[in-house]
């Protein structure tokens, strides 16, 4: 099957947006960012949406933005850390394109993601760690798992491209 859309999934700080930018450049596609689309639609940043309307409202928007983008092809979608955790979203994504889990060790994520309020679910450190462990189960449903962490964005991109070439035979 020829892949014409890639979804990057994984925890906060895994590098989904950076890899989406680099991979889309490499493929001559476009990057799409679920959080960015939500913010553009609401004219507010994610933390303000969480604070003002709550997480359930945010999750509904996340689903709606994901569905809106279904007709769009030749894009690399950077999902939010929670997008692929929802079973219905997971099914939509796995039917629509190639899901790739950027798997990064917890220690690295703790260093990368500051509890500065920009990510509401990274504020409480013990909760952040519990969430990490709980979510691994969901991310495992991605079709491809690549190791992040110490590797460069370039290396990750090349691994994904190699997999896509293999798949297209
Ligand atoms: C979330 C991750 C964030 C953003 C929101 C919720 C999550 O995206 O969607 O703060 O539930 O893990 P990033 O993974 O891009 O930080």
Task: State the Cα–Cα distance between residues 64 and 9, nearest whole angstrom.
Answer: 17
Q: What is the pLDDT of residue 1?
A: 67
Q: Does residue 14 surpass a pLDDT of 80?
A: yes
Write out pLDDT tens, residues 49-99: 999 999 999 999 999 999 999 999 999 999 999 999 999 999 999 999 999
CA of residue 35 to ligand 1 center, whole Å: 7
How many whole angstroms from 165 Cα to the centroid of ligand 1? 30
Report the distance separating Cα 129 and Cα 133, nearest Å: 7
The residue written with tokens 């895994």 in the block is 14
Instruction: List the structure tokens of 24.
Output: 């889309």
**C-alpha triplet 121, 7, 22: angle, nearest 5°:** 95
End-to-end CA gap in the chain: 8
Atom of ligand 1 at shortest range from CA of 34? 9
Residue with the larger pLDDT of the pair 129 and 169? 129
Cα(161) to centroid(ligand 1), Å:
25
What average pLDDT does range 32-45 have in this prediction? Answer: 98
Residues with CB under 6 A from ligand 1: 12, 16, 35, 46, 80-82, 119-121
Mean pLDDT of 142-157: 96
């Amino acid at each position: 099957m020829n892949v014409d859309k890639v979804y990057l999934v994984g925890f906060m700080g895994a590098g989904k947006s950076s890899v989406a930018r680099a991979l889309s450049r490499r493929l001559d596609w476009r990057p799409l960012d679920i959080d960015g689309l939500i913010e553009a639609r609401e004219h507010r940043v994610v933390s303000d949406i969480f604070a003002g309307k709550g997480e359930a409202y945010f999750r509904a928007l996340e689903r709606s933005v994901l569905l809106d983008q279904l007709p769009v092809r030749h894009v690399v979608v950077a999902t939010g850390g929670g997008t692929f955790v929802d079973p219905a979203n997971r099914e939509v994504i796995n039917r629509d394109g190639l899901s790739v889990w950027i798997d990064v060790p917890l220690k690295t994520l703790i260093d990368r993601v500051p509890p500065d309020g920009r990510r509401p679910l990274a504020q409480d450190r013990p909760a952040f760690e519990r969430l990490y462990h709980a979510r691994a189960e969901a991310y495992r449903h991605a079709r491809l798992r690549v190791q992040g962490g110490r590797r460069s964005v370039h290396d990750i991109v090349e691994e994904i491209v190699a997999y896509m070439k293999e798949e297209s035979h």
